[in-house]
Chain A
Amino acid sequence: MTEPSLLIQSAWLIPALPLASAAAIAAFGRRLPWHGAEIGIGAILTSLLIAIAIAWETFTTVDPAPYEAAYAWSPLGGGFVLELGMLIDGLTAMMFLLVTLVSSMVQIYSREYMHGEKRFTYYYAMLSLFTFSMLFLVIANNTLQAVVGWELVGLCSFLLIGFYWEDKSNQDAANKAFLTTKFGDVGLIVGVIVLSAGMFGLTDTPFNFLQTIDAAVAGELSTATIVLGMLLIFVGCISKSGQMPLHVWLPDAMAGPTPVSALIHAATMVTAGVFLLARLFPVLAQSATVMAVIAVVGVITLFFGGLLALVQDDIKKILAYSTISQLGYMVAAIGVGGYTASVFHLFTHGFFKALLFLGAGSLIHAVHSNNISDMGGLRRFMPHTFWTFTIGSLALAGFPLTAGFFSKDEILVAGDLWAVNGFATGTAVYWVGLAAAFVTTFYMARAWFLIFMGEHRGAGHADAHGHDAHDDDARTRTTRTTHDAHDDHADHGAHHADPHESGRQITVPLMILAVLSIAVGLIGSPFAQEKPNFESWTSTTVIAETTYPFLAEYAAAGTGIAAAAAEPSAKILHGPPTWHLDLLLIVLVVFSSAVALAWRFYGRGLPAQDPMMRMGGLTRVLVAKYGFDSFGYRFIVVPVRDRMSAWATRISNDVIDGAVAGIGTTTMRLARTTYTVVDQRIIDGGVNGAAFSAAWWSARLRRIQSGDVQRYAGALVAGVILLVLAFVAVR
């Protein structure tokens, strides 16, 4: 590709349109006939069209060079340039397509789903802003801009998770999501700084993605920079992409409206971490340590995250834990060198998870409850939702020929190849991945049987939560009267007639996504051996030509890892996908056995006691979510909130006392005087003494706070003078 086409050059329109629409909706959306929805939908559909065109162009161009354009700003003069730019390659185009498509489906869907909400316009403005943030992160050509998009995504998710902010629990969920991801953001920002510090001096634009990648591949970055920087960035990905142990915010993020959950889980939030790892893949591929850490975290998450879904009753929580598990697959794939597999799974997962969430929203809409124990027999009432949800479930479970099958198999194959290279993580990804596939199939089959098969357990029971015969801890914990029901319906939910199919604005996006959940798998499947296929689309020259440097080192050092860099598997790209009949067979066995097991338990409706609740210790552990939440509450929330002040007082007292004792040791006499003072204070009652001293000091110190601004100004200048004097004296 010599000269980038006008289309590629105008890619900036894709994020710009949602931003403009967010502003326009906020400015005058309320006065429009659709209360702003038309602006949001129109803008995102236009973005979608551009994204499709760009995706087509980058897809059909075999071996496209990345296109980069940036507005450079040099605030500090020479040697340091900040950029606001765009980097368009296959990966960007793929993310554009995914984000705009899911977002437009969600926005069309929301017009019916959120109809009559009092903050309808605000909701649409936030959706647009959310979409913009993610697209801004995706289009970024440098890490700093990506961090900006990343933070905006966090902010928007906070606002949307807390959309029903009248409820304390929703506020808490929003705060939890914000603070948890913010914790990881600290790592991300420090990581970005570390990487750019390594780049400093090599180039004028230390944050630039391509230059960072080039420098890393050329070995110009020190190992310490790469390991430290990438691990810190990975901390950000752990929190954003819901990896253990910072996944705790993701299930709680279900407090937001269901379409928002679809957006968060499929396209705009949790994929950010995986995307960033994919973007910086050539950098992290320089270090075996980084890849091992990533793989281990991914493997842990994909298995244990999936287990948690077994005991959930809330359909949205089941899907949330399945998202955690699927993200674990993606991260694990990154960690075992499955770049294409990870990105492909990110792509396909976006479609079928959006489908599942929107389908769940349709179900919730119909029965006014989040709980699968309140559903049952819905296939008769909601045929469209039924077959679309079924396709989504099959794709998630990895049923052959669905999109999820091809992408998940690619991950397992990548693990296998990595195992050939001598890394135990590859073996782990392969076998744990298979086990988790069994778990996934089982919980999706459980949900599917309970939702669609058997007899309808009725909206009339919805109000009787907590009094059911099979009541238990997990039920009461996850049972929450849904806010997703319309206000006008919620009041007489108990007398509601049979559930009915949702309207066309809900079912049509479901159908589109259902078709795509099958279709998008084909471009990365063994059917697409020839270029262009998914691999040629999402990989650039750098990725195609990079090998893992440490493989040769290990081979030379003879550390037991046998593979040499000359082997084909040392390349990052695995080449076009091929059929693995053995794997296909295993997957089929796993699938059918999991479905059979689910049928045995749930095929005849909801048993009197859910077998998942009768697994003894395992159930207790899972219901307690491995104790992460209570651990976090007890050791982070409570100390910070309740005990910080007490500790601060105690520490200050200790410090004061310590200083006094220190002086005391210098001279015996001073020590004795001090001792008596301390002693007397203790005799008089240490607490009273501390309180008294605090009061005494504050009574004097508060005089400083005279309210006289001029005295403040004088003190300020005097302080500056003293500082300058001190500086001069030190010099």
Chain B
Amino acid sequence: MTGLDLIFAVVGLITAAAAIKTVTSTNLVHAALFLAVTLAGIAGVFLVLSADFLALVQLVVYVGAVAVLFLFGLMLTRAPIGREALDSDHRGLALGVSGALFVLLSGLIIAAFGDVRVDTVGGPRTADIGLALFRDWVLPFEVLSMLLLAALVGAIVLSRREDGESGEVEDVTRILLADDPDLDGVDDADASADGAAGEVRA
């Protein structure tokens, strides 16, 4: 047990605990914040593994952007709070499957790598990463940028209003009212369920 192992244990425990809270928390916003903690913890893990560039990317992209995006998502969809509202009735199935997966995978990992210990931890320098990215991987890189562009356009197209008034922010609260006469395309079952959900929100 070296010092590095110790630091890793601390960071890893925090990350693991936050991750578990992320999927078990009964408060939506808390879940998202725990996600941010988990992602920051993973950035810490990267640092411990001396992948400093990736750690920064992780912080900027995930903690900075993705987590905030999720918070926006939660706010905009106004989901209810509470265990019954947040968890579906698959909790038993989920627990069984993920538990089995964890046991199986960790068993395999320990069997395969249990005795691997390394003295030096070190990876490519940021300069190496840059060179590799723009020399060997430049084509995938450009393809990825096209993918991001396509995702951006797709996201905009998907979240636009149907009747196509661009530039206007959608008034999402209007449709929340179950008795709204403008509520098209929602069948009866959903409408009544919306009523119940509406009460919770109210």
Contact = CB atoms under 8 A, between A and B. Distances in A.
Q: Do A and B bind each other?
A: yes
B20 interface: no
22 contacts: A708-B90, A710-B88, A711-B90, A711-B93, A714-B90, A714-B93, A714-B94, A714-B97, A717-B97, A717-B98, A717-B101, A718-B97, A718-B100, A720-B101, A721-B97, A721-B100, A721-B101, A721-B104, A724-B104, A724-B108, A725-B104, A728-B108
Interface string B88-111: 101001100110110010001000
Contacts of B98: 717
Contacts of A721: 97, 100-101, 104
A708 B97 CA distance: 16
Contacts of B104: 721, 724-725
B76 to A, nearest CB: 22
B132 to A, nearest CB: 14
Interface string A692-731: 0000000000000000101100100110110011001000
Interface in B68-119: 88, 90, 93-94, 97-98, 100-101, 104, 108
A711 B88 CA distance: 10
Given A710-B90, A724-B108, 14 more contacts: A710-B88, A710-B94, A711-B93, A714-B93, A714-B94, A714-B97, A717-B97, A717-B98, A717-B101, A721-B97, A721-B100, A721-B101, A724-B104, A728-B108
A725 B108 CA distance: 10
Interface residues of A, number: 11
Contacts of B88: 710
Nearest to B139: A73
Per DSSP, are chain A's interface residues mostly helix, strand or loop, or mixed?
helix
Interface in B151-179: none
Main secondary structure on B side of the interface with A: helix
Interface in A354-381: none
Contacts of A728: 108
Nearest to A73: B139
Nearest to B136: A74
Contacts, number: 24
Contacts of A725: 104
A728 B104 CA distance: 10
Interface of B: 88, 90, 93-94, 97-98, 100-101, 104, 108
A721 B97 CA distance: 8
Contacts of B101: 717, 720-721
Contacts of A718: 97, 100
B96 to A, nearest CB: 8
A710 B108 CA distance: 26
A725 B100 CA distance: 11
Contacts of A717: 97-98, 101
A379 B146 CA distance: 59
B111 to A, nearest CB: 9
B98 to A, nearest CB: 8
A708 B94 CA distance: 13
Contacts of B94: 710, 714
Contacts of B97: 714, 717-718, 721
A714 B101 CA distance: 11
A717 B90 CA distance: 14
Contacts of A710: 88, 90, 94
Contacts of B100: 718, 721
B64 to A, nearest CB: 29
A708 B100 CA distance: 21
Contacts of A708: 90
A675 to B, nearest CB: 41
Interface in A375-400: none
A724 B104 CA distance: 9
B50 to A, nearest CB: 24
Contacts of B93: 711, 714
B90 to A, nearest CB: 5
B10 to A, nearest CB: 30
A393 to B, nearest CB: 51
A311 B110 CA distance: 77
B181 to A, nearest CB: 29
Contacts of B108: 724, 728
A170 B130 CA distance: 54
A728 B100 CA distance: 15
B124 to A, nearest CB: 17
A711 B101 CA distance: 16
Nearest to B103: A721
Contacts of A724: 104, 108
Contacts of A711: 90, 93
B146 to A, nearest CB: 15
Nearest to A710: B90
Give 8 closest A-B pairs by Cβ, nearest first.
Answer: A714-B93, A717-B97, A710-B90, A714-B97, A718-B97, A721-B100, A721-B104, A721-B101
B32 to A, nearest CB: 20
A718 B95 CA distance: 11
Nearest to A725: B104
A717 B98 CA distance: 8
B99 to A, nearest CB: 10
A711 B108 CA distance: 26
Most A CB within 10 A of own CB, among B88, B93, B94: B93
A714 B93 CA distance: 7
A520 to B, nearest CB: 41
Nearest to B98: A717
A714 B94 CA distance: 7
